[in-house]
A = this chain, B = another copy of it.
C-alpha cells in the first residue's frame, strides 16, 4: 500500500490520508481483514503526528471502513460498506471535471491535456516499475 502526502495540494493531511485509504479499500488493494500499519508506524512513515493518524483511523472506523482492536491493531472491516468503488470512481470523475475546467481556463487545448496525462502516466509507470524491481532485488 503506497501512501503519500503532497504538501502543495492544499488538502488537510487527514483528508489526503483518508482518501487514499478509501481508494485502496475500494480498489481491493486493501481487503477485508487486512492489517493496517500501526498508528505510530504510519505516523513515522509519513513524518506526521500520531494523533493525526489516529484521527484518520477514528473517522474511517466511524464510516465502517476500518475496525480497531484494542491492543491488537487496526484492520479493514470484514464487511465493507457497499458501493465504495462506484463512489470512488464518481469522485474521481468529478475531480477530472475540475481539472479540465482549470485547464480550459488556462487556455490549453484538449491535445495538450492528453499529452500531460500521458506524461504523468508514464512517470508513474516508471516509478512503480523501479519500486518493484528494487523490491525484487531486496529479496
Binding site for B on A (CB under 8 A): 2, 4, 6, 8-12, 15, 19-20, 23-24, 26-29, 49, 59, 62-63, 71, 85, 88-89, 91-108, 110, 113-114, 116-121, 123-124, 128
- B114 & A23 in contact (Cβ 8 Å cutoff): no
Q: Are A23 and B105 in contact (CB under 8 A)?
A: yes
* Number of this chain's copies in the complex: 4
CA distance A28 to B26 in the complex (A): 39
* CB <8 Å contact, B10 and A12: yes
- Residue pairs across A and B with Cβ atoms less than 8 A apart, 6 shown, are A10-B11, A10-B15, A19-B102, A29-B105, A92-B99, A92-B106
Closest to A26 in B: B106
